[in-house]
Amino acid sequence: MEYILGVDGGGSKTSVQIAETSGKAVSQVVSGSSNYKSVGINRAIENLNTAVFDAIKKLRASEAIYFISSCFGFAGNDAGEDSKTYKEIVFNKKLRGYLNSKGTIICNDTRIGLESGSENKNKIIVIAGTGSNCLGINEDGKQIRASGWDYILADEGSGYAVGLKALKAIMKAYDSRGEKTLLSRTILKELNLKKALDLVKWAYDRPFSKVKIGALAKTVCKTTEMGDKVSINILAEEAEEAAISVITVAHKLGFEDKDFDLIFVGGLFKCEKYFKNILIHRLREKFPHINFKPLIGNPVEGAIKLAVERLKDF
């Protein structure tokens, strides 16, 4: 029996949805991460297969299952080598017999988030979570991306960037190279550390985790509400970085005088006063017809939507 398969392969979990060819969902399952950069290739395959086959079991189908069209959106699918690796993960020995190779889409998870967040043909998604990313598409189908090259090459406008700046601000204050900041108290309390020098061991402990640094953005946000100038400046700077990514994508897509949706995703947007509102103000000045939208739908629904669209090519 023919079905549609949608997969949202994130850094922390994998969501799988099976739908009828009309797009109506009939089964959904969540398993562990299928981002090979986070868990390795073998574990990524294992977690992906677990989710897909558990979703198949939930169907309780009496006939053999075949996915006539499918869409896999993976976090970390950023460059040419990533595409090759994710293709190997998707078409693994156990799963490939269930997939129509000509009807299979493998993309970045921002693409499925974009599709689930808006019906507008002109749209951009900006992610400001632990990491950052920005992707847009116009009515002609042209896609443009900016940033999102991970924590070494480009992660501006992310929780990681905010957390890292906060840690550096504490050490600058400790050395008297920078101004005093309430972060020296709030972050140490959050981490159960007694003094600034304890951050050295915490920061350099192996294995390295950008997630634990990104988590500090919540504390920075709280400290802005206490009037801390250093925290306010950090968030404002990263809001500007996120705005630059959106502006770059919008210009390349020709959105200057067009109606388009901007979809917000990520925890930094909970910092309304010193991040979200600054970003909105900056972009509204540039694009009078922009529509701001939080992501309400489930990204895996965007994967199903793209897979249904793919059916038209057959």
Domain CATH number, residue 73 = 3.30.420.40
Residues 195 and 249 in one domain: yes
Residue 84 phi/psi, 5-degree rounding, is -65, -45
Residues 139 and 182 in one domain: yes
Q: Which two tokens stand for residue 114?
A: 């974009």
Q: Would you place residue 39 in the very low, low, confident or very high pLDDT band (cuts 50, 70, 90)?
A: confident
Q: Is residue 310 part of a domain?
A: no
- Is the Cα dihedral 114, 119, 124, 127 positive or negative? negative
Q: Is residue 301 part of a domain?
A: no
Note the maximum CA span of the chain.
71
Would the pLDDT of 314 be above 80? no
Q: What percent of the chain has pLDDT over 90?
A: 84
Would the pLDDT of 75 be above 90? no
Alpha-carbon distances, residue 42 vs 10, 86, 268 (angstroms): 16, 11, 32
Select from 48, 67, 99 the last residue of a domain: 99
Residue 99 one-letter amino acid: L
Residues 135 and 25 in one domain: no
Q: Is residue 69 part of a domain?
A: yes
Would the pLDDT of 291 be above 80? yes
Residues 155 and 194 in one domain: yes
Q: pLDDT tens for residues 264-283?
A: 998 999 999 999 999 999 99
Residues 173 and 95 in one domain: no
Q: Which domain holds residue 31?
A: 2-99
Residue 190 one-letter amino acid: E
What residues are paired with 258 via a beta bridge? none
Cα(62)–Cα(42) distance, integer angstroms:
30
Residue carrying the six token digits 């947007």: 269
Q: How many domains does the chain have?
A: 2
In the chain, % helix, strand, coil (3-state, to 5) comes to 50, 20, 30
- The pLDDT assigned to 169 comes to 98
Select from 99, 128, 159 the last residue of a domain: 99
Q: pLDDT tens for residues 201-249?
A: 999 998 888 889 999 999 999 999 999 999 999 999 999 999 999 999 9
- Is the Cα dihedral 116, 117, 119, 121 positive or negative? negative
Residues 75 and 179 in one domain: no
Q: Is residue 309 part of a domain?
A: no
Residues 178 and 62 in one domain: no
Residues 144 and 265 in one domain: yes
- pTM for this entry: 0.86
Angle at 112 between CA 107 and CA 114, to 5 degrees: 120
Q: Which two tokens stand for residue 132?
A: 């950052």
